[in-house]
Structure 1
């Protein structure tokens, strides 16, 4: 039986600990990149939808102003 005091045991423990720490680091970095890409894509979609709603509201505001001028007789026509 090999004792825990043997240098080979400590080398193997160090190698396995380093390997696990390296894999954990790689997974964390990979997950963060994927999460950032997803959030950036979602932000772009939300910005696009807000721009579309703003355009519709501008059109609606223009229509309401025209109707108000027509109803209250301030229409230059």
Structure 2
């Protein structure tokens, strides 16, 4: 364990492992951020669609109440 070549190999191996861990962590973080962004975009679209449906239902219920009971819900 006193040979300089052994210590050099240990240093090179440690540097390689540290570099590989850094690269994998960076790539993983980018993938997670990208997936979260696409999920947000999908959810925003779905929520907007749901709001439109709720407005239609509210309008229909108001029309039914006005027609049936003569009550304005505004």
Q: Normalized against structure 1, the TM-score is what?
A: 0.84
CA RMSD in angstroms comes to 1.3
Tell me what 1:38 maps to: 35
Q: Which ranges in structure 1 are unaligned for 5 or more consecutive residues?
A: none
Dislocated runs of 4+, deviation >2 Å: none
Provide the rounded CA distance (Å) in 2 between the counterparts of 1:43 and 1:18. 38
Task: With a CA cutoff of 8 Å and minimum separation of 6, indicate the structure with the bigger relative contact order.
Answer: 2
Tell me what 2:26 maps to: 29
Tell me what 1:56 maps to: 53
Q: How many residues align?
A: 72
Q: Which ranges in structure 2 are unaligned for 5 or more consecutive residues?
A: none
Superposed displacement of residue 44, structure 1: 1.2
Secondary structure at the counterpart of residue 2 of structure 2? coil
Higher Rg: 1
